[in-house]
């Protein structure tokens, strides 16, 4: 029986706040998080991982930390246990910034890496290694499951596919955060696209969204996904493998039969690449 990972998102500025305020505890959590973030750590993520680990272990969901205080003091809630039997559930964190990457290495079993180009793995992996060393448990990068989401599309019209996927990043660059705090843009900047994402964001915030979409570099669509001929996809797989990536989350499009065929072709290519180093 396989294990299902439990994911946790590191918060995105400007997006999490309106959603979190829908629950009573949010203003308290947000205020505490702002205080402890001045110390240079995302304590909210750290405490959230601890809460989830206790929950899946069968313990009562009761926690009194610096950010989270559960049950809410003075409220009607009480500590409860999950109805599910205790089970080992690996913790994955989707992190982009250096501090949350380090925290992922320190606390998690796996990393979900968005906005990732295997050619620039050095923009992410050293921070994971810092966290692994900080944990002091003798773990290395090879002990962490590095999971990268990728769209998979076999096509001879590479430019069209790259442009289409690149345009999809306009919203990410323009709206996923505030003008001054967008962790996707910071990640792309660390990978050499600083001027490009700044231009896209300016166009998006000015309401020129079609222009913003057209301004996204094709390389962002091409190199963060698996697009092109089988030979091209195979070479991209080699790059992911050389970078130390252990898991690719394949995002497939089309009807069911097309998805099955694409996945079968991808599995064949992955098998061939793995056998090259066997």
Q: What's the mean pLDDT in 202-220?
A: 97
What is the model's pLDDT at position 86?
Answer: 80
Pick the more confident residue, 236 or 56: 236
Cα(263)–Cα(251) distance, integer angstroms: 9
Residues 44, 11: contact at Cβ < 8 Å?
yes
Least confident of 2-16, 19-33, 132-146, 147-161: 19-33
What is the model's pLDDT at position 20?
Answer: 33
pLDDT tens digit string along 103-157?
Answer: 999 989 999 999 999 999 999 999 999 999 988 888 999 999 999 999 999 999 9
Residues 111, 128: contact at Cβ < 8 Å?
yes
Residues 236, 118: contact at Cβ < 8 Å?
yes
What is the model's pLDDT at position 14?
Answer: 42
What is the model's pLDDT at position 278?
Answer: 66
Cα(24)–Cα(17) distance, integer angstroms: 12
Q: What's the mean pLDDT in 236-263?
A: 96
Architecture of domain 142-278: Alpha-Beta Barrel (3.20)
What is the model's pLDDT at position 23?
Answer: 37
Q: What's the mean pLDDT in 92-106?
A: 92
What is the model's pLDDT at position 89?
Answer: 81
pLDDT above 80: residue 92: yes
Provide the terminal-to-terminal Cα distance of the chain, rounded to the nearest Å: 26
Task: Tell me the whole-structure pTM to 2 decimals.
Answer: 0.79
Cα(77)–Cα(73) distance, integer angstroms: 9
Number of Cβ atoms within 10 Å of the Cβ of 192 = 14
- The pair of three-digit structure tokens given for residue 1, joined into one six-digit string: 């029986």
pLDDT above 70: residue 12: no
CA atoms within 13 A on the CB side of 207: 0
pLDDT tens digit string along 224-237?
Answer: 999 999 999 999 99
Least confident of 21-25, 99-103, 199-203: 21-25
What is the model's pLDDT at position 4?
Answer: 45
Residues 6, 90: contact at Cβ < 8 Å?
yes
Three-state SS string across 135-156, please?
HCCCCCHHHCEEEEEEEEEECC
What is the model's pLDDT at position 78?
Answer: 75
Question: CATH 3.20.20.30 spans which residues of the chain?
Answer: 142-278
Please choose, from the candidates 112, 222, 93, 113, the residue with its C-alpha nearest in 3D space to the C-alpha of residue 160: 222
What is the model's pLDDT at position 16?
Answer: 38
Q: What's the mean pLDDT in 247-261?
A: 96
The model's confidence at residue 215, banded by pLDDT at 50, 70 and 90, is very high
């Amino acid at each position: 029986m396989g294990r299902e990972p439990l994911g946790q998102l590191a918060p995105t500025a400007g997006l999490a706040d309106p959603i979190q305020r829908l629950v009573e505890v949010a203003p308290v959590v947000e205020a505490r998080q702002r205080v402890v973030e001045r110390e240079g750590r995302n304590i909210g993520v750290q405490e959230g991982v601890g809460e989830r680990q206790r929950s899946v272990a069968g313990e009562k969901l009761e926690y009194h930390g610096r950010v989270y205080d559960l049950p809410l003091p003075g409220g009607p809630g009480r500590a409860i246990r999950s109805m599910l039997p205790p089970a080992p559930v690996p913790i994955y964190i989707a992190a982009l910034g250096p501090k949350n990457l380090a925290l992922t290495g320190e606390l998690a079993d796996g990393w979900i890496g968005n906005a990732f180009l295997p050619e620039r793995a050095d923009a992410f992996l050293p921070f994971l290694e810092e966290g692994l060393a900080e944990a002091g448990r003798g773990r290395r990068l090879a002990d962490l499951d590095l999971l990268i989401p990728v769209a998979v599309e076999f096509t001879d019209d590479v430019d069209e596919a790259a442009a289409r996927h690149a345009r999809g990043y306009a919203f990410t660059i323009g709206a996923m955060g505030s003008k001054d705090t967008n962790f996707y843009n910071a990640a792309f900047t660390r990978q050499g696209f600083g001027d490009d994402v700044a231009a896209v964001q300016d166009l998006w915030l000015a309401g020129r969204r079609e222009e913003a979409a057209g301004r996204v570099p094709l390389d962002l669509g091409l190199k963060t996904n698996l697009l092109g001929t089988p030979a091209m996809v195979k070479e991209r797989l080699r790059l992911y493998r050389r970078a130390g990536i252990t898991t690719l989350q394949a995002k497939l499009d089309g009807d069911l039969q097309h998805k099955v065929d694409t996945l079968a072709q991808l599995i064949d290519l992955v098998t061939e690449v793995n056998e090259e180093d066997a």
